[in-house]
Structure 1
Amino acid sequence: MITTSYVAQAKGRTPLVCLTAYTTPMAKLLDAHCDVVLVGDSVGMVLHGLPSTLGVTLDMMILHGRAVRRGVERALVVVDMPFGSYEESPEQAFRNAARLMAETGCAAVKLEGGEPMAGTIRFLAARGVPVMAHVGLTPQSVNTFGGYAVQGRGEDGERVARDAAAVAEAGAFAVVLEKVPESLARRVTSEIAVPTIGIGASQACDGQILVVDDMLGAFTDFRPKFVHRYAELSAEAEKAVAAYAADVRARRFPTADHVFGDTPGAVARGRGA
């Protein structure tokens, strides 16, 4: 199984492949191909229909963390700490990180924030909690930023660079760089000693991450610039649902192949609605 040490030592080597997932079947699919499977708090928006990640709870992260962990044998599983679960104090962060790790079996947690979170990261790392940091656009700060705009343009780039340096020095084993200019991502990647994992950043980062649902085209109304769609599953799924609906209404489904006769036969395995 891939470890946090393996990820930390991947700096400057073959780029790390990372995807965000929330369910056991998807985790099983990703496991053979990914170095890191992140259980992101984006689950609130992707699966639960929330307008942002702010409504995600620790219990939700534990539920989906368990599901993903059951589907993974090889990849490193990292679980997001949701908004409000770590900002109050290092002690609060440790209690909730310890619960996340104990109840999900994940190997590490991820938290958002730069210089203000450096002390918390140091506190966690000293107590056996591996931390993946997240700087640049931090979605839990959407109200502070006033939206999901690119971070680190112009003079603001110094802030993002300081944030990345602070969390790396504090003991984070990797740093997610989200939605920052390419030149800044290249600079940060060259300046800090731990791997950078880009999302809307630069090809020069030490790894890349996307939400798997975005990459697979599971939604038709969300097309951020930084996502390349490797499939259009939403369109294919809609065709399949339409075909099923038409067959049901025309009494073409179920056919004789899908129903049971009066004579006992082999025991069929299956599940109900």
Structure 2
Amino acid sequence: MSNVGHTTTLKVCYDQWPPMTIFSTKDAPERGVVIDMVEQIYASKGYTLEYYEVPLARGLDMVADGLCDMLPEYLYSKNPDNGFVYANEATFSYATAFVVRKNDSWRYQGIQSLNGKRLATGPGWDYSSISVGYQHYIDDQKNANFVEVIAGYDDVVDRIFLMIKDNRVDLYADNDLVLQYVLNQLNLNDDLRIVRPGFENKLVEMPIFSRKISADKRQDLINIWNEGRLAMKGEKEQTLLNKYKVSLGK
């Protein structure tokens, strides 16, 4: 399977992370900022894109197995998995922020400011690249009563927002654009608010490409991405963000 159709078809695995990557439906065909970007970059070079909407762990396996050529957003690591190769140009470097109830005056002032707060996360989510201290806090068993791990397929963040509204947890940290989008989609601007600044480091997400592709082919795909992503900085990038009613400048 891994060698079929690589000449003109680009097989793209991606997980649900609105507004960056969205599982499309008949009624809502949009696929998100990042997928729109991938489509524009590769379609302009004659590629037809084939999409596989899967949980992140499954997408990583499919890239490693050669069932997908690429996954457009994965946390950058200096010691990557042997099953894939990173591009050079990041998809985005995201500022992080928190969401809390509207009447909560809490601000992030270092890890100690989390004490006594009930926070939500997803299973196996890794924050170590943006805040080693936050990851240690989540992993520390003595904080287990204050860390709620929300399992699920594609609606985890939506459910977390509703749990904060219902006073079941107090805060949640994520990419600022994700928080903006979900707040608008769920119409919760009267109930919740975004707290900035977030963590000290930005969240750097990179496209990854399968090692099952021939080295020449893979490098061609990476070069197309690198050049295309650079060319989209500025106005073209902002046009895509505007489509989903989010802003890097928030």
- TM-score relative to the length of structure 2: 0.29
Structure possessing the higher radius of gyration over alpha carbons? 1
Report which structure shows greater RCO (CA 8 Å, sep ≥6). Answer: 2
